[in-house]
């Protein structure tokens, strides 16, 4: 067998992910908080990067020569926090960019080579740290953990005079209380877990019940209840005896709580022998009680959202701009950059060159992220101006490919830009993905977004008659009268997504 060597020419395409591209993609999908952390890490690891605010506290002497002055000027022009704010109108010319963003890549390639260290280094006394007394005093208040239900009950137990035996029972009962304030374990189980057969005076069930009744007077009212009925009765027992309709409310909860839960007001009126106006007063008293007393204390910490884009109306046009507070402004340190020498191949000079190149890449990636985010947000506002002017009912259908075609980018890029990015509008703060929704066909051949349909369903339910709430089929029929083709199961899905109960649970007396 003879092996013959030959040459072949083939054409093909391949995508190479350069480090610069990988960094740009990673910064693009970061949220605001993650971006701030990434910038802080870059400032700490790269000596060539500095914040613009650093110069506010320093007053360096004039540059020794014209080259130094040129370097300082060029570095200030490379500010990364782009404050370009596009605003657009409905003319055919499309978006009107109100200002131009300076390119971050304005650092000259030929850096000065004969700059002396004494010309750069300025011996100045260290500035004293600013004393923020107010921030220091408020730090513990803002960052201290909130009090939990168990902590609140423990605090009350420490103020209650009990014997060691009753203290042990109380702690066993507290361990069985969930976050809503209910006792999750039966008393028999708690009692059996504490019984010691070798004890000369074994624990009796009556002792556990006595301690439980004592703990049921703790705050918040209704805590240590074994079920909803007992929880409501405990709260009624703590009301003043002269409270109107107190006896009737206790009667309804004790004997007819199932009818009350099913909203069977006809049977409730007949069995309780109350008139409709009297039952209405009783229900008003009962609905004022808290079915989950522990929720008043065990509340999750609020999540604060920092908007990336701010939208406001100016001169009858919607103006889109980046939030200047989302990230610190960074630039290349001109003093360190001027230390690089062209003809020097030493390790220190090579290190400075590499750090300078990484700093320029990082600044360019940040600028690209800001420009892409601003471009996408502008197209979203342009498409959804009906929502901004009139509300959710005027939201238009929008998918990622629509914006991708408008800004000439890939859908995956649009997905990264709109994830965990928020827009501040006069109607509230929304994630950019909120403005994207599927569509439903209309009788006229048009399209209606699912967000608008949800708003219509919510509006119909808000204006329904409480005695006779609208069913899902009726809502679907009413939407059909407006030309929107929606099935009953679709209405049910949207209603459940908005956490609206079905019609039988929304029924109530007027």
3-state secondary structure 262-298: CCCHHHHHHHHCCCHHHHHHHHHHHHCCCCCHHHHCC
ω into 220 cis (within 30 of 0): yes
pLDDT of residue 460: 92
Please tell me the distance from the alpha carbon of residue 290 to that of residue 292, in angstroms, as a whole number.
5
* DSSP 3-state of 428: strand
pLDDT of residue 437: 84
Please tell me the distance from the alpha carbon of residue 290 to that of residue 150, in angstroms, as a whole number.
18
Please tell me the distance from the alpha carbon of residue 432 to that of residue 469, in angstroms, as a whole number.
34
pLDDT of residue 388: 92
CA distances to 237, 238, 246, 257, 353 from 241, in Å: 8, 9, 7, 21, 83
Residues 6+ apart with CB under 8 A from 494: 450, 453, 454, 457
Q: Beta-carbon neighbour count of residue 502 at 10 Å?
A: 13
pLDDT of residue 145: 58
Side-chain half-sphere CA neighbours of 21 within 13 A: 5
Please tell me the distance from the alpha carbon of residue 35 to that of residue 306, in angstroms, as a whole number.
12
Residue 424 CB burial class (10 angstroms; 0-12, 13-18, ≥19)? middle
| Residues 416 and 424 sit within 8 Å (Cβ to Cβ) | no
Please name the residue that has the structure tokens 């004393």: 131
What is the Cα Rg of the chain in Å? Answer: 34
Please tell me the distance from the alpha carbon of residue 468 to that of residue 486, in angstroms, as a whole number.
22
Per-residue pLDDT tens digits of the chain, which is 510 residues long: 667 787 888 887 766 667 777 888 888 888 888 888 899 999 999 999 998 764 444 444 433 333 443 343 334 444 443 444 444 444 444 444 333 444 444 444 444 444 443 443 343 333 344 444 445 445 444 555 567 899 999 999 999 999 999 999 999 999 999 999 999 999 999 988 887 766 777 888 999 999 999 999 999 999 999 999 999 999 999 999 999 999 999 999 999 999 988 888 889 999 989 998 999 999 999 999 999 999 888 666 667 788 999 999 988 899 999 998 887 788 898 888 888 887 778 888 889 889 999 999 999 999 999 999 999 999 999 999 999 999 888 889 888 999 999 999 889 889 988 988 999 999 999 999 999 987 777 766 667 888 889 999 999 999 988 888 899 999 999 998 888 888 899 899 999 989 898 888 888 765
Please tell me the distance from the alpha carbon of residue 380 to that of residue 374, in angstroms, as a whole number.
10
Structure tokens at 505: 């649970």
């Amino acid at each position: 067998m003879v092996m013959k060597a030959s040459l072949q020419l083939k054409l093909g395409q391949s995508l190479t992910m350069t480090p610069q591209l990988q960094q740009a993609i990673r910064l693009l999908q970061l949220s605001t908080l993650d971006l701030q952390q990434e910038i802080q890490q870059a400032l700490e690891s790269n000596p060539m990067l500095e914040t613009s605010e650093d110069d506010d506290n320093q007053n360096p002497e004039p540059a020794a020569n014209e080259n130094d002055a040129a370097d300082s000027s060029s570095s200030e022009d490379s500010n990364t926090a782009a404050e370009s704010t596009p605003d657009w109108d409905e003319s055919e010319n499309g978006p009107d960019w109100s200002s131009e963003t300076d390119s971050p890549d304005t650092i000259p390639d030929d850096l000065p080579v004969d700059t002396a260290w004494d010309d750069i280094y300025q011996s100045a006394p260290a500035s004293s740290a600013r004393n923020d007394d107010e921030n220091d005093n408020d730090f513990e208040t803002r960052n201290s953990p909130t009090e939990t239900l168990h902590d609140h009950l423990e605090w009350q137990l420490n103020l209650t005079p009990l014997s060691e035996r009753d203290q042990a029972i109380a702690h066993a009962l507290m361990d069985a209380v969930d976050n809503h304030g209910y006792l999750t374990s039966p008393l028999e189980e708690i009692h059996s877990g504490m019984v010691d057969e070798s004890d000369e005076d074994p624990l009796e069930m009556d002792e556990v019940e006595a301690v439980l009744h004592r703990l049921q007077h703790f705050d918040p009212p209704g805590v240590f209840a074994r079920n909803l009925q007992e929880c409501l009765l405990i709260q009624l027992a703590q009301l003043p005896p002269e409270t109107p309709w107190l006896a009737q409310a206790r009667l309804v909860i004790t004997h007819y709580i199932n009818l009350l839960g099913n909203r069977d007001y006809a049977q409730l009126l007949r069995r309780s022998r109350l008139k409709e106006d009297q039952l209405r007063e009783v229900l008003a008293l009962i609905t004022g009680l808290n079915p989950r007393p522990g929720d008043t204390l065990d509340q999750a910490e609020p999540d604060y959202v920092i908007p990336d884009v701010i939208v406001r109306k100016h001169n009858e046009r919607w103006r889109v701009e980046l939030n200047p507070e989302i990230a610190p402004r960074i630039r290349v340190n001109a003093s360190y950059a001027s230390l690089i020498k062209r003809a020097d191949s030493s390790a220190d000079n090579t290190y400075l060159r590499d750090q300078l190149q990484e700093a320029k890449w990082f600044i360019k990636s940040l600028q690209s992220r800001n420009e892409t985010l601003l471009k996408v947000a502008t197209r979203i506002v342009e498409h959804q101006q009906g929502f901004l002017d009139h509300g959710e009912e005027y939201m238009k259908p929008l998918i990622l490919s629509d914006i991708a075609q408008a800004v000439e980018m890939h859908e995956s890029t649009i997905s990264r830009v709109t994830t965990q990015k928020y827009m501040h509008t006069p109607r509230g703060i929304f994630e950019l993905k909120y403005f994207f929704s599927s569509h439903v066909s209309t009788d006229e051949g048009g399209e209606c977004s699912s967000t608008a349909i949800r708003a219509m369903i919510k509006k119909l339910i808000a204006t329904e008659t409480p005695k006779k709430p609208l069913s899902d089929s009726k809502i679907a029929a009413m939407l059909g009268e407006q030309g929107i083709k929606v099935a009953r199961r679709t209405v049910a899905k949207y209603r459940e997504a908005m956490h609206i109960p079905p019609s039988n649970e929304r029924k109530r007396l007027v």
